[in-house]
């Protein structure tokens, strides 16, 4: 195996698309908190720490899943021999170390969030992945917490708390719907997902109830005066799309979880628009 192939394999271990997506969410959290212009160094450190931590978490998950992947995902870096299991483990540790070093330059709240997230990333595959609902919940928390981490890095979590709740709950809903979509394959692999444990319809009801609770919380930044009407003009359509997705999932889980992604994107956009409108209205 050449150095180039090994390098490509290590890059694959990190899941670059996931790394970029999580880093963007952290930046959005900092932007929503109003700290991008005031604390640029902290924002860069938080974004970079997020990227390294997500890459490390994906790499260590592939290390733990290497035997399963030999059967289900033989094209992945470890099964095909591009990266050795030991190499993947060492690579993950190096990335985690870089994430920790960057996180330690941030305020205490951001350090606390980073510490919890790093432990969660390490524990996910070995502890939570096979537990019905809990694995979904951990993934949802990790997605939502990127917003909190970005906001905490600039010292003001403010409206990012609602964004965390909305994004986390929408992600949890989507994860449950995806498990309903994949129920036959998961049964064959011996997994005990929430739909397998309690039934498909009950799992979809749980997902829908959770999403309704998140939608009810979405106007809070407007009601508290943190954002203005511009925020509402985007978040209300986002709520409508997500609720429609949850309803649609009862008949077609594949279409429902796909539509839910668009609602989640619109919800994130609402916070960006709300903050941007606030910045424009602030006195120079």
pLDDT of residue 81: 87
Number of domains in the chain: 2
pLDDT of residue 236: 94
How far apart (Å, rounded) are the C-alpha atoms in residues 163 and 240? 16
Q: What are the tens digits of pLDDT across the range 125-163? A: 667 766 778 888 888 998 899 999 999 999 888 878 888
Last residue of a domain, which of 130, 155, 180?
155
Is residue 214 a part of any domain in this protein? yes
Q: Are residues 167 and 115 in the same domain?
A: no
pLDDT of residue 55: 93
Nearest to 59 by CA among 15, 113, 120, 3: 15
Contact 194, 179 (CB under 8 A): yes
Specify the 3-state DSSP secondary structure of 189. Answer: coil
Q: Are residues 93 and 162 in the same domain?
A: no
Which portions of the chain are predicted below pLDDT 70? Answer: 1, 3, 72, 125-126, 129-130, 189, 281-284
Last residue of a domain, which of 155, 180, 197?
155
Q: Are residues 125 and 23 in the same domain?
A: yes
Is residue 284 a part of any domain in this protein? no
Handedness of CA 90, 96, 97, 98 (dihedral sign): positive
pLDDT of residue 284: 44
Q: Are residues 184 and 97 in the same domain?
A: no
Last residue of a domain, which of 155, 188, 217?
155
Q: Are residues 166 and 90 in the same domain?
A: no
Q: Which residue has the tokens 């049964």?
A: 187
Range of the domain at 264: 156-279
pLDDT of residue 130: 65
């Amino acid at each position: 195996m050449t150095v180039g192939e090994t390098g490509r394999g290590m890059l694959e271990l990190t899941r670059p698309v996931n790394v970029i997506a999580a880093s963007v969410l952290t930046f959005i959290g900092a932007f929503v908190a109003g700290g991008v212009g005031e604390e640029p160094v902290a924002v860069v450190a938080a974004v970079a720490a997020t990227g390294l931590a997500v890459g490390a978490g994906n790499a260590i998950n592939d290390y733990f899943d290497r035997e399963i992947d030999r059967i289900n995902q033989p094209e992945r870096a470890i099964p095909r021999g591009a990266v050795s299991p030991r190499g993947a483990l060492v690579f993950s540790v190096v990335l985690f170390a870089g994430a920790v070093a960057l996180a330690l330059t941030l305020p205490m709240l951001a350090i606390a969030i980073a510490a919890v997230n790093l432990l969660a990333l390490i524990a996910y595959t070995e502890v939570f992945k096979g537990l019905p609902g809990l694995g979904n919940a951990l993934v949802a928390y990790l997605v939502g917490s990127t917003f909190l981490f970005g906001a905490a890095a600039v010292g003001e979590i403010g409206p990012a708390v609602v964004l965390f709740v909305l994004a986390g709950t929408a992600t949890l809903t989507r994860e449950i719907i995806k498990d309903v979509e994949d129920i036959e394959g998961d049964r064959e692999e011996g997994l005990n997902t929430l739909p397998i444990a309690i039934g498909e319809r009950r799992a979809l009801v749980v997902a829908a109830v959770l999403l309704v609770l998140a939608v009810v919380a979405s106007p809070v930044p407007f009601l508290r005066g943190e954002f203005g009407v511009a925020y509402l003009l985007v978040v209300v359509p986002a709520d409508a799309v997500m609720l429609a997705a949850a309803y649609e999932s009862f008949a077609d889980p594949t279409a429902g979880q796909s539509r839910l992604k668009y609602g989640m994107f619109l919800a994130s956009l609402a916070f960006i628009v709300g903050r941007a409108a606030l910045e424009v209205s602030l006195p120079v």
